[in-house]
Amino acid sequence: MEHPETLTLMNSLARTLCLIGDIDSSRDLLIALSKTLDQTRGKADQHSLRARSNLAGVLRVLGDLPSAQDLLQEVLSSQLDFLGSEHPDTLRTMAALGELLHARGKFSEARRILESVVLAQLKILGAEHEDRTASMNNLSLVLFEEGKFEEAHGILANVLEAQLHRLGTEHPDTLRSTKNIATVLVASRDPKITLRILGNILRKQVNSLGLSNQETTLTAWNFVLQLRRLGDQCTMGALKREFLDWLLCASNSSLTERQLTIRSLLPLLSTRTKTVGRNSLCPCESGAKFKVCCGKLS
């Protein structure tokens, strides 16, 4: 039983039992394994620490959050002593503890731990490592619970950018981050905050997906709808010009793509419906006549 490969397999078996729903068998196996390893190898042994960490995860699934927290803190204390604060296993335990504190409603404690984990993972693992993006997602959820919507969005936007680059648009983790961003948008209930968040999402999407992508177009339409919600015509006009100036300068896009995108926005960018004459200046504010600019696309 003490052979390293045997111990690794037993830990893996316990995790598998938990995943398929046999929680009691997983818990019993991990309790027995932890006791044996503590007696034969000591509590600081890596296999013993892993077994107790897995047991904490099972206790959480069973709803015993206080016991799971106590066990994770015990594991973390040993890892800090024997592995150091920047070891991947230590960081993984800290991330699990932060997630558990979030589940218990201890948001400030969870935020402090997850912030330190994210910084350390950037140094040790790199910006796009899956452990780091998972920790950043958890941190954004804590910030969301605290009502810090813009901070939550900033983190989620970085997560989404990394996932788009590493995993693509269809991966479940990417879609989960997109959903989290949408949740932040809905919860903020502040048109100005939502407008800033949408603008940041739109910039990320243009750079990652391109102007012709359906998701980019949808965000652009939502951006303009949010402009109209603001109601302040002066603010709306200034934001319209700023947005169009940025859109015209967006990198990696052809003139036709830019014009098509602007044309699709025209009905909503205008505060009122009006007919544009062929010899009038184009509403996209390019300075050219409508007939030689967006009118060519009609």
Query: How would you write the pLDDT of the chain (298 residues) with one tens digit per residue?
Result: 556 677 778 878 888 888 788 888 889 888 888 888 888 888 788 888 888 998 999 998 888 999 999 999 999 999 999 889 999 999 999 999 999 999 899 999 999 999 999 999 999 999 889 899 999 999 998 998 898 888 888 898 888 888 888 888 777 788 778 767 777 776 776 666 666 767 777 777 767 776 666 667 667 766 766 666 665 454 455 555 555 555 555 544 454 555 555 455 544 444 333 455 677 775 545 566 766 654 543 3
Contact 55, 30 (CB under 8 A): yes
pTM to 2 decimal places: 0.63
Residue with tokens 């910006």: 127
Contact 78, 49 (CB under 8 A): yes
DSSP H or E run through 132: helix 130-145
Kindly tell me the number of DSSP H helices and DSSP E strands found in the chain.
13, 0
Look at residue 232 in the predicted model and tell me its pLDDT: 46
Contact 22, 6 (CB under 8 A): no
Q: How far is residue 294's CA from residue 286's CA, in Å, rounded to a whole number?
A: 9
Cα distance from N-terminal residue to C-terminal residue, the chain:
76
Full set of structural domains in the chain with CATH: 4-248 (1.25.40.10)
Q: How far is residue 298's CA from residue 94's CA, in Å, rounded to a whole number?
A: 58
Q: How far is residue 96's CA from residue 138's CA, in Å, rounded to a whole number?
A: 10
Q: How far is residue 216's CA from residue 262's CA, in Å, rounded to a whole number?
A: 12
**For 263, which DSSP code?**
H
Among residues 131, 219, 217, 213, the alpha carbon closest in space to that of 178 is found at 219
Look at residue 274 in the predicted model and tell me its pLDDT: 45
Look at residue 90 in the predicted model and tell me its pLDDT: 94
Q: Which residues have C-beta within 8 Å of that of residue 48, sequence separation ≥ 6?
A: 34, 37, 38, 41, 42
